[in-house]
Structure 1
Amino acid sequence: VLEDLEPKLVWHIFEEITRVPHPSKKEKKLREWIKKWAEEHRIPFKEDDAGNILLMKEATSGCEDYPTLVIQAHMDMVCQKTPDTVIDFENDPLKIRIVDDYVTAEGTTLGADDGIGVAYGMASLISEELKHGPLEVLLSVDEETGLTGAFNMKKGFFTGKYLLNVDSEELGKITIGSAGGGETHYTIPLNFEKKKGWRGIRLSIKGLRGGHSGVDIHLPRLNAIKVAVSGAIFLRERINLLLSVIDGGTLHNVIPTEAVCEFLVPEEKIEEAINLLENWKNDIISKEREKEPDMKIEISEISEEMALTEKKTESILDLLNKIPHGPLAFSKEMEGLVQTSNNLAVVRSDKEKIEIFLSSRSSVDKELEDLRKKLKILGEKYGAAVEQGEAYPGWQPDPDSPFLGLVKKIYEDILKKEVSLKAIHGGLECGMFLRLDPELQIVSIGPEIKDVHTPEERVYIESVGVLWNVIKGIIENMGELK
């Protein structure tokens, strides 16, 4: 599909990557493909116990005294699809296509985050036009669902002191800092009762825009779980209601686009309940049309006899209502930058328990710690068993880094205009790498990628060539850092 696009080498490798399934935590097929590719091209490599891969290449003649450059990307992708798309992300290739000036996928995420970064790294190792110092291409696993690869990487796995992370999504901008974060998992046991004289209703929310729970959390977008909960609470304030099912969201780093809430109401109130919900639905669709133009709310009768008690229903809905979602604080130093946020990411219920997954971020370690403490207290107040894994660190900007100065100069020479520096609210692995080597100098760049973590994900074709020229320029000018 992409054979006529330039730079051919980068696009060819990227298209090959889209044919190999690589969901987060299930990157084995892509890891095997990369190792086979390395053997075919006589590229030395090593793999650690976590599954991270380091590809290596010696300097070309005359560049032996250049410092080693590490080009870093992650192998996993966020797997999201539209409701009517049929795909097995663990076994099926993506269906990619060109639409106007973009490469995208049919009905699914594209995986340009971060397949295009992997492609840049691999292309740099086999490009015949490059003169370069020692190169290391560091490819990590499971960045998207907990930075597992970076967390489990051992000191000394890579040796370079200059790391170029290729996991940003805006052309003309250099990322020099990112937020830290951590997850919270609630588990609450459930006991259901068989109810006679009650009728079931399903409230279904679909078609929300969603997005990345870091870089998109400030945008005026709704959370499908919160919408479903607001509908159930609206009805409960007017008619007795008992909860049966609540499910929504897919991944910790994605703003939920779909949710389902099922509940029982007294048999004699079923018609009134549906009419009330229809009025609520019309109000919310009208009020939120600009934010969520494709939102669909479906209300239907279902055959259901099992439900939670009145007390448990109130407890679950109250907890979900009180869990914060969205930006909680903004940076005083950088206008518009979210400093601290929380994503109500996933709710799953079955006949034994309800599980709730939250993702918190902050560029201020103390704020992240305080938020996670509050979430733990909140969950325990409502009878939840609370699990919180180790938080990952933020990446503090170093605006005086000589490596940043080199990257900025080369970028501006190629773009013919000033390049801006930014910190992001998304999580990058850079903070973890600085833990391994505090002397490391890091910058992050990337081509123009829109709507990451959604089925609308697309990469601007021209930007891929521009960034390839930037990366080549950095590689060839590493001698200035001797």
Structure 2
Amino acid sequence: MSKEILSLEPKAIWENFYSLTQIPRPSKHEDAIQDFMLKFGQDLGLETIKDATGNIIIKKPATAGMENRKCVVMQGHLDMVPQKNADTDHDFEKDPITAIIDGDWVTAQGTTLGADNGMGVAAAMAVLQSKDIAHGPIEALFTADEETGMTGAFGLEPGILNADILLNMDSEDEGELYVGCAGGIDANISLKYKEEKLDKGYVAHKLYMKGLKGGHSGMEIILGRGNSNKLLFRFLRYATKNFKMKLAAVDGGSLRNAIPRESFAVVAVPEKYNEKFLAAVAEFEATYKAELSAVEPDLAFFAEATDTPKNVFKKKYQKKLINAIYACPNGVIRMSDDMPGLVETSLNLARVVSENGVVIIQALLRSSVNSAKDDLGQMVASTFELAGAKVKLEGQYPGWKPNMDSPILKTMQEVYNNKYGKIPEIKAIHAGLECGLLGAVYPNWDMISFGPTIRYPHSPDEKVKVDTVIKFWDFLVESLKNIPVKE
């Protein structure tokens, strides 16, 4: 089915995007795509470099008559977020993505599509291949491991690139130009626990919190979608207090930058409370549906009988864990004062999993205000340290401060207006674009970010709007023709 996308325009992008879908490229497993990109550049006869971090750099000289233009870096990341529906059989390290046309959109069968950031990468590849697009000197930068730590951007060395302008093609709304982004911190938390044997007279259940939309923890945090971890632990606290519930295991969420869609727990309750416990599960499902009906129409919370566990958390460790997760901030913390409608600070409680006497908890904190980001980090640390957990705040990356006097911003506004008869919207994004890190290494760069319209990235509902890919491509080509002369 994937090949049907080859019929779409512009073929220059879709042919390259198809090639990307055929190469497994989840974060941290990027050898195959890096080798592919190395061969791609070398086969074009262009200078091609793989740096120590795994970034691929391909340099293309200016076309005739454009040698005096400023040098442009076209930039995108090679990895993709590996998310699939529970009923989808897919190995992201081995299987290609099956892309399909669904009306006006391209999506995938039960998995993430990889349009984030495959569209930007495919567009840069098309420019490198082209023989009829006028452009100045070009350096294409394909970064490694953006989704799980921006490793490639962190590892980029100064001096390897000579550009003046960065065109980041990792934004997700056509007709918008992004001039700023949030920075972030990873909260990695470990909470040790001890177990005890489960007494007789208990009935065991597996709790399922499913059917949530999930999505990008920066872009879509403003939508108020349910967090499966928070919803599950809300019930666990109630069941502990009212039914003397015992917790045996928990496994919630997946990736730190994806709003958790599914969470599970194995629990046991005394037989005398079993009917009331099951009634409470149904009541909580009804409550969750009522509270989140507008944003989570497919929400499901239910219990299924399971084998009785031999061991459960000791009472004090269960209490510490449940209280800490329940108390941890989550979602939008503050909106921006400077840009209406923009989230300033947020937290995504992404992962909670118990195994071998340790609960691992992961959260991603974002803010465009560094002091607010640090404050939120200390708030999270305080919450979990009270429970006796070890907290590491790491992987910190800077935001990108908007420059409204940017020359490339003015150029691309004019190009868009001349082509489409309107000025594109100027925005900042509540997500960790690599621009902040790249700009720290190359502070002379004049930077902008744009892309086609992508919806629900980081989830199996990810899709890209076909007609916006055409506009994105035409806008990129026209912008390259109008890059300012180097002074």
- When normalised by structure 2's length, the TM-score is 0.97
Equivalent residue for 2:212, pick from 202, 208, 212: 208
Name which of structure 1's ranges 150-159 and 166-175 shifts more when overlaid on structure 2: 150-159
- In the alignment, which of 225, 243, 264 is matched to residue 260 of structure 1? 264
Offset of residue 376 of structure 1 = 1.8
Q: Which runs of 5+ in 2 are unaligned?
A: none
Q: 1:109 to 1:298 in 2, by over 3 A?
A: same
What does the per-residue CA deviation read over 1:123-178, in whole Å, with 9 as the maximum and x for residues that have no partner?
11111111221100000011111111101111112210100000000011000000
Within the alignment, does 1:30 sit opposite 2:33 as a pair? Answer: yes
* Structure 1 SS opposite 2:84: coil
1:142 equivalenced with 2:145 (yes/no): yes
* Aligned positions of 1:64-83 closer than 5 A: 64-83=67-86
Question: Which residue pairs with 1:180 in the alignment?
Answer: 183
- The equivalent of 1:170 in structure 2 is 173
Does residue 360 in structure 1 map to residue 365 in structure 2?
yes
Report the AA paired with residue 127 of structure 2: S
1:338 equivalent in structure 2 = 343
Aligned partners of 2:266, 2:222: CA distance in 1, in Å? Answer: 30
**Structure 1: which amino acid aligns with 2:186?**
E
Relative to 1, partners in 2 of residues 1:287 and 1:330: Cα closer, same or farther, differing over 3 Å? closer
Aligned to 1:467: 472
Distance 1:178 1:476 in 2: 27
Cα distance in structure 1, aligned partners of 2:99 and 2:145:
23
Which secondary structure state, in structure 1, belongs to the residue aligned with residue 402 of structure 2? coil
Q: Does 1:305 align with 2:310?
A: yes
Amino acid in the other structure paired with 1:379 = F
2:6 corresponds to: 3
User: For the Cα contact (< 8 Å) 2:225–2:292, is it kept in 1?
Assistant: no
Look up the SS of the partner of 1:3 in the other structure: helix
The SS at the match of 2:222 is coil
Aligned to 1:272: 276
Give the Å deviation of 1:390: 3.5
SS of the equivalent of 2:171 reads coil
8 Å contact from structure 2 (residues 72, 137) kept in 1: yes
Q: For this pair of structures, how many residues does the alignment match?
A: 482
Retained in 2: the 8 A contact 1:205–1:297? yes
Corresponding residue of 1:370: 375
User: In the alignment, which residue of structure 2 is the partner of 1:446?
Assistant: 451
Structure 1 residue 7 displacement after superposition: 1.1
Query: How many Å apart are 1:481 and its aligned residue?
Result: 5.3
The answer to whether the Cα contact below 8 Å between 1:246 and 1:347 also exists between their aligned partners in 2 is yes
- Contact 2:282–2:301 (8 Å) recurs in 1: no
Q: What residue number does 1:388 align with? A: 393
Higher deviation after alignment, 264-273 or 359-368: 264-273
The CA distance in 2 between the partners of 1:351 and 1:125, in whole Å, is: 50
3-state DSSP of counterpart to 1:285 = helix
Shift of 1:284: 2.4
Q: Tell me, in whole angstroms, the C-alpha distance in 1 between the residues paired with 2:465 and 2:189.
A: 39
1:16 aligns with 19
Q: What is the deviation of 1:275? A: 2.2
Q: State the Cα distance separating 1:276 from its structure 2 match.
A: 2.4
Structure 2 partner of 1:421: 426
- Secondary structure of 1:222's match? coil
Match of 1:50 among 53, 74, 77: 53
Report the counterpart of residue 254 of structure 2 in structure 1.
Answer: 250
1:118 alignment counterpart: 121
1:267 CA displacement:
2.8
Residue 213 of structure 1 aligns to a residue whose secondary structure is: coil
Is the contact made by 1:172 and 1:415 (CA closer than 8 Å) also made in structure 2? no
Gaps of 5+ in 1: none
2:186–2:396 contact (8 Å) kept in structure 1: yes
Partner Cα distance (1:308, 1:123) in 2: 56
- Alpha-carbon distance, 1:243 to partner: 1.2
Contact 2:68/2:486 (CA < 8 Å) preserved in 1?
A: no
Indicate the residue corresponding to 1:296 in structure 2.
300
Question: Are 2:233 and 1:229 aligned?
Answer: yes
Report the secondary structure of 2:49's partner residue: strand
1:262 positional shift:
1.8
Q: Aligned equivalents of 1:352 and 1:117: distance in 2?
A: 43
Mapped contact 1:112–1:458 kept (Cα < 8 A): yes
Tell me the secondary structure at the aligned position of residue 31 of structure 1: helix
Contact 2:249 2:265 in 1 (8 A): yes
Match of 1:160 in 2: 163
Q: Give yes or no for contact 1:208–1:224 (8 Å, CA) kept in 2.
A: yes
Shift of 1:418: 1.9
2:43 to 40, 54, 64: 40
- Given that 1:191 and 1:351 are in contact with CA atoms closer than 8 Å, whether structure 2 keeps it comes out as no
Report the Cα distance in structure 2 between the residues aligned to 1:22 and 1:401, rounded to whole angstroms. 34
Letter in 2 for 1:183: D
Contact in 1 for aligned 2:68/2:485 (Cα 8 Å): no
Equivalent-residue separation in structure 1 for 2:409 and 2:299 (angstroms): 43
Q: Which moved more, 1:370-379 or 1:53-62?
A: 370-379
**Structure 1 Cα separation of the partners of residues 42 and 54 of structure 2:** 17
**Distance in 2 (alpha carbons) for counterparts of 1:277 and 1:60:** 66
User: For 2:324 and 2:384, how far apart are their aligned partners in 1?
Assistant: 8
Measure how far apart 1:185 and its partner are: 0.8
Q: Which residue of 2 aligns with 1:283?
A: 287
Structure 2 residue matching 1:466: 3-state secondary structure: helix
Paired with 1:73 and 1:155, the residues of 2 have a C-alpha distance of 18
In the TM superposition, residue 462 of structure 1 has moved relative to its aligned partner by 1.0
- State how far apart, in whole Å, the 2-side matches of 1:211 and 1:109 are: 10
Partner SS, residue 264 of structure 2: strand
Indicate conservation of the 8 Å contact 1:112/1:449, yes or no: yes
Counterpart of 2:355? Answer: 350
User: 2:217 matched to 1:220?
Assistant: no
3-state secondary structure, aligned to 1:388? strand
1:480 CA drift (Å): 4.3
Deviations along 1:238-273, one digit per CA (max 9) or x if unpaired, are 111221111111101100000002222223322222
